[in-house]
Amino acid sequence: MLGKRRASLSANLKIGDHRGCCRTPEEEEVYIPFAQDSLIKQWSSMQNVTDRNQEKSRIPILRNKYFLNINVGGKSFQIAYKAAARYPITRIGKLAIYTDPMKKLQLCDDYSVQRNEYFFDRDPSIFHYIFHFYRSGVLWIMDEMCPSHFVEETEYWGIHLKYAQRCCRILFEERQDELSDYLKIQKELEAELEPLDLSTVHFEGKCMGKFRKMVWNLIENPYSSVPAKIIAVMSSFFVLISIVSMTLSTVEEIKHKTGKKWMELLEMICAIFFTSEYLMRLISSSSFQKFLQAAFNAVDLVAILPFYIQILFENLDEADVLYHEELHKMENVSKLGKVLKLIKLMRIFRILKLARHSTGLRAFGFTMRQCYQQVCCLFLFIAMGVFTFSALMHSVEHDIPGTNFTSIPYAWWWAAVSLSTVGYGDSVPNTVLGRIVAFGCISFGIILNGMPISILYNKFSDYYAKLKTHENKTSLSLKISRKIRFKERALRKLSECCGADPRCHH
């Protein structure tokens, strides 16, 4: 009689064992090898056809006695009780050591009495690695698996990542961190985009909901209608006019009465428009607290405050001049004039209002928020370079007559200019050692300036593409909805006309 062949992935692999088919549980565990889909039944030679029916009737009884029959997502597996009991805190280990049938049923999704099989509605492709873990004691992790899905499955089966090899675990944790960062950025991008679909939910059941929704679409959604587009264009136009007016007001030729009067009139018109825009946004906001916390709304407030503070200070200035001519009162007037100039300078922040309608500026601001660690690290390197090279330059140049490097703080400007590779030439070293230090400072600046550019540019281009894609999808969906509504209105009008005209019925 031919010897029994071992049930393995290679059917021709023979075992030099001519003993009977009945083995002890210890021998049976060694005898049955690992297979991903299921344990392959033993195969005997074609000469033993008469004995095969007897083998089929004996093997399931023997295996059910020493093995757990597990069905995961339609695929059958068999794990030895002894191998599963080595890990009693895992789900399969508890299934092997529990004697109470009710506790076992709580661990699985279903149980087949006829087949003595426990069913689990989980991913069978992941369970291949769980099955291999019980056979070998090592948890293997493949690169093509989704980290979050794999962690979810291993937590369900109660297996910790510490059983994986150190190299696999390190790579897996890196991929897991990358995925979590990516999901975090995606979530923040969605918050930055502020989906327009939620606008209907914000105003349902609230006071003057329809009116506030109409105002919200008019101010916040330029793709909703033609008037909304006009308001968006006007907002950008008034921002540019305001910046140009503030710039021209500093020109000496325009400071005469006629030019000053026109600049003040233009400033008043811009301030009225910005105020009305801010009030419309305040009225249409769904939450007053969230409205005050929004960055764009803070920019709008800063854009209109200087105008009203300027009016207040000018009135105080006139009152002091009329009623108090003393010297100390005139000093207070001069101080108020300096504060007034500072307040007027705050109008430059109006240019930030363009970010509300500019995808590029929004992407740039989002990039700065996401890369603040790299930017802070860059400033730290710049500060280290300024302090280091300014100290070196002072140490080699302070003895030279007529030098500008009389102290380290005086050398800070030279170091900052040299690190930025601008080089104004207002301060230059005179000695050979000073020029060597200057060359090192410039070389360090070139390396430092080239480090973050690729990181920042790649992230900026990625965020800009995502924001632009969402903007195009939003505009396309609104155009399609408007076309559908236009067709419905046209068909409704046509049906009404035909219904009113008696000739249409003939």
Q: Would you say residue 115 has pLDDT above 50?
A: yes
Q: How far is residue 491's CA from residue 131's CA, in Å, rounded to a whole number?
A: 64
Classified as helix, coil or strand, 14 is: strand
Share of the chain above pLDDT 70, in %: 72
pLDDT in tens, 392-401: 999 988 888 8
Residue 314: DSSP 8-state: H
Q: What is the pLDDT of residue 142?
A: 80
pLDDT digit string, tens, across residues 463-501: 888 877 777 776 666 566 555 555 566 666 667 666 655
Ranked by mean pLDDT, the top range of 54-58, 405-409, 456-460, 479-483 is 405-409
Location of structure tokens 């002894």: 82
Helices (H), 137-256: 147-157, 166-193, 199-202, 209-220, 226-248
Taking alpha carbons only, the member of 134, 119, 38 closest to residue 74 is 119
Rounded average pLDDT over 150-155: 89
pLDDT in tens, 207-218: 777 788 888 888
Please write down the HEC assignment for all residues of 109-136: CEEECCCCEEEECCCHHHHHHHHHHHHH
Q: How confident is the model at residue 374 (pLDDT cuts 50, 70, 90)?
A: confident
Mean pLDDT of the 411-429 span: 86
Pairwise pLDDT comparison (343 vs 161), residue with the higher score: 161
Which residues make beta-bridge pairs with 350? none
> Which residue type, as a one-letter code, is found at position 182?
Y
- If you average pLDDT over residues 66-88, what whole number do you get? 89
Q: Give me the pLDDT at residue 231, please.
A: 87
How much is the average pLDDT of 91-101?
Answer: 90
Of the two residues 249 and 130, the one the predictor is more confident about is 130
* Chain segment 304-354, per-residue pLDDT in tens: 888 888 787 767 655 554 444 444 444 455 566 666 677 777 777 778 777
Structure tokens of 377? 């690290």
Predicted confidence (pLDDT) at residue 77 exceeds the cutoff of 70: yes
